[in-house]
């Protein structure tokens, strides 16, 4: 007896989204499973060594099998062209600009809650769901949809969703946000879902083996020559040696520098115009704050002078106290209470108050 709304679930073929779909079916929604086809690298899709990862065709087949088990329709939505243009090309451009991008954040905002959400609406879905470990609640006083961390502190994934707008959140259900990962796996097992034992995937979905260096060079072969003979410069301005090419390094990097310095050195600046990497002592990679652009406000509307928050500047960041100072609707300054390591332009900074995700932005530069 399906009486509730039609929900489209973004299925990756993994445990979390599969259980999300199962829960919605149990809650009497009319559920439709949608799997995105984002890229097509035949050499990877069929290769046996990648069969365990989410690069293989098995992801689509797994999602299909889950839908068959749940008795719901399943469609594969081909978003390759848009993904190439908006995610992959942007990813490359960011690296070429000497920044370290986070494509998953962008993909959620532009593709999953973009082209895929639109397709969901087109086929009659009035709600959209994913398997993210987050919670979303409507706050009537503030009249805003508030994103909250998932209950499982280890697994919670709010960090990658900071860009979601109020309109996007209004249409979304996050069925597994109230569960722990262990409980989700249990549920998958109880339902007899074939994918219950699937291992976690931590890679960027379009780069096999996380070898983004190889990926960049394959996509832009002209770089191979251009990136030759890039200098590694130390704090005194001396050339210590040469590096592989500036896009392959990130702020705070210690390994793979291939230069001798007598003491531990870390990358503290990347200059794409001169193909130079600047290195120095550990102290040099600490900053007192940061400036971020492309700010998106979630729990609050950013209409305040300053506020104490807990901030994360990386996905796995445990979070640190800071003072948030909006400059305008699109820009913020964040002042750290304690100096923080490796503020990396291109990465996302997300600010919280307790469990509530206040907002986020893209790190433009560190404040020294």
Partner 1 sequence: MRKIYFDHSATTPVDDRVLEKMLPFFSTTFGNPSSIHNYGREARMALNAARENLASLIHAAPDELIFTSGGTEADNLAIKGLAFHPNNQRRHIITTSVEHHAVLNVCKYLEQRGFHVTYLPVDQYGMVSPDKLTEHISEDTFLISIMHANNEVGTINPIQEIGAIAREHGICFHSDAVQSFGKIPIDVNALNVDLLSISAHKIYGPKGIGALYVRKGIPLQKLNHGGHHEYERRAGTENVPAIIGFEMAASLCQDNLPAETEQIAHLRNNLQTQILARIPRVHLNGHPAQRLPGHLNLSFEGVEGEALLLSLDLKGIAASSGSACTAGTTENSHVLLAMGIKPFLAQSAIRFTLGRMNSSADIEYTVEVLPEIIERLRKISPF
Enumerate the active-site residues: 107, 205
Give the nearer residue to partner 1 in terms of CB position, either 121 or 201: 121
61 binds partner 1 (CB under 8 A): no
The structure tokens listed for 228 are 């030759």
Residue 283 beta carbon to partner 1: minimum distance, rounded to whole angstroms: 51
The structure tokens listed for 184 are 């989700």
Q: Encode 48-70: b = buried (16+ Cβ within 10 Å), e = exposed.
A: eebeebbbbbbbbebbbbbbebb
Quote the CA–CA distance of 347 and 342 in Å, as a whole number.
11
64 binds partner 1 (CB under 8 A): no
126 binds partner 1 (CB under 8 A): no
Residue selected from 47, 73, 196, 244 as contacting partner 1 according to rule CB under 8 A: 73
The structure tokens listed for 16 are 């979390």
Quote the CA–CA distance of 65 and 222 in Å, as a whole number.
42
Helices 58-70 and 15-26, packing angle to 10 deg: 20
**Residues of span 20-39 touching partner 1 by CB under 8 A:** 32, 37
Closest CA to 356 of 182, 154, 63, 146: 146
Quote the CA–CA distance of 7 and 121 in Å, as a whole number.
9
Residue selected from 118, 226, 308, 329 as contacting partner 1 according to rule CB under 8 A: 118
**Residues of span 90-109 touching partner 1 by CB under 8 A:** none
Residue selected from 65, 76, 261, 323 as contacting partner 1 according to rule CB under 8 A: 76
Residue selected from 47, 65, 77, 96 as contacting partner 1 according to rule CB under 8 A: 77
Quote the CA–CA distance of 346 and 130 in Å, as a whole number.
25
**Residues of span 271-310 touching partner 1 by CB under 8 A:** none
The label of the residue with tokens 């929900």 reads 7
Number of residues in contact with partner 1 under rule CB under 8 A = 15
Residue 62 beta carbon to partner 1: minimum distance, rounded to whole angstroms: 17
Residue 56 beta carbon to partner 1: minimum distance, rounded to whole angstroms: 17
Q: Phi/psi at 2 (nearest 5 deg)? A: -95, 110
Q: Phi/psi at 310 (nearest 5 deg)? A: -105, 130
Residue 161 beta carbon to partner 1: minimum distance, rounded to whole angstroms: 23
Residue 61 beta carbon to partner 1: minimum distance, rounded to whole angstroms: 13
Give the nearer residue to partner 1 in terms of CB position, either 76 or 151: 76
Helix (H) or strand (E) holding 356: strand 356-367
Residue selected from 45, 47, 65, 75 as contacting partner 1 according to rule CB under 8 A: 75
Which residues of this chain interact with partner 1, rule CB under 8 A?
Answer: 32, 37, 73, 75-78, 80-81, 118-119, 121-124
């Amino acid at each position: 007896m399906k009486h509730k709304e039609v929900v489209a679930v973004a299925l990756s073929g993994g445990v979390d989204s599969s259980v999300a779909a199962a829960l919605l079916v149990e809650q009497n929604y009319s559920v439709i499973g949608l799997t995105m086809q984002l890229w097509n690298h035949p050499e990877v899709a069929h290769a046996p060594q990648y069969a365990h990862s989410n690069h293989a065709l098995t992801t689509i087949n797994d999602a299909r099998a889950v839908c068959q088990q749940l008795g719901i329709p399943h469609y594969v939505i081909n978003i390759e062209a848009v993904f190439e243009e908006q995610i992959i090309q942007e990813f490359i451009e960011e690296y070429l600009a000497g920044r370290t991008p986070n494509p998953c954040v962008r993909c959620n905002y532009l593709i999953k809650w973009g082209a895929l959400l639109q397709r969901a609406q087109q086929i009659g879905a009035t709600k959209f769901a994913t398997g993210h470990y987050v919670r979303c609640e409507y706050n009537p006083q503030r009249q805003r949809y508030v994103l909250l961390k998932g209950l499982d502190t280890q697994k919670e994934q709010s960090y990658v969703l900071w860009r979601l707008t109020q309109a996007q959140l209004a249409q979304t259900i996050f069925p597994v946000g109230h569960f722990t990962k262990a409980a989700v796996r249990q549920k998958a097992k109880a339902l007899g879902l074939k994918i219950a034992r699937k291992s976690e995937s931590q890679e960027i979905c379009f780069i096999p083996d996380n070898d983004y260096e190889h990926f960049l060079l394959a996509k832009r072969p002209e770089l191979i020559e251009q990136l030759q003979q890039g200098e590694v410069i130390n704090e005194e301005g001396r050339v210590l040696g040469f590096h592989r090419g500036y896009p392959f390094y990130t702020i705070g990097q210690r390994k793979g520098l291939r230069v001798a310095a007598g003491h531990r050195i870390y990358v503290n600046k990347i200059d794409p115009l001169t193909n130079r990497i600047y290195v120095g002592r550990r102290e040099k990679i600490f900053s007192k704050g940061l400036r971020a652009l492309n700010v998106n406000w979630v729990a609050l509307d950013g209409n305040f002078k300053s506020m104490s928050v807990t901030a994360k500047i990386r996905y796995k960041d445990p979070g640190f106290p800071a003072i948030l100072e909006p400059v305008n609707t699109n820009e913020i300054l964040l002042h750290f209470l304690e100096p923080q390591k490796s503020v990396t332009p291109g990465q996302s900074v997300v600010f919280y108050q307790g469990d509530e995700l206040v907002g986020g932005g893209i790190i433009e530069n560190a404040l020294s």
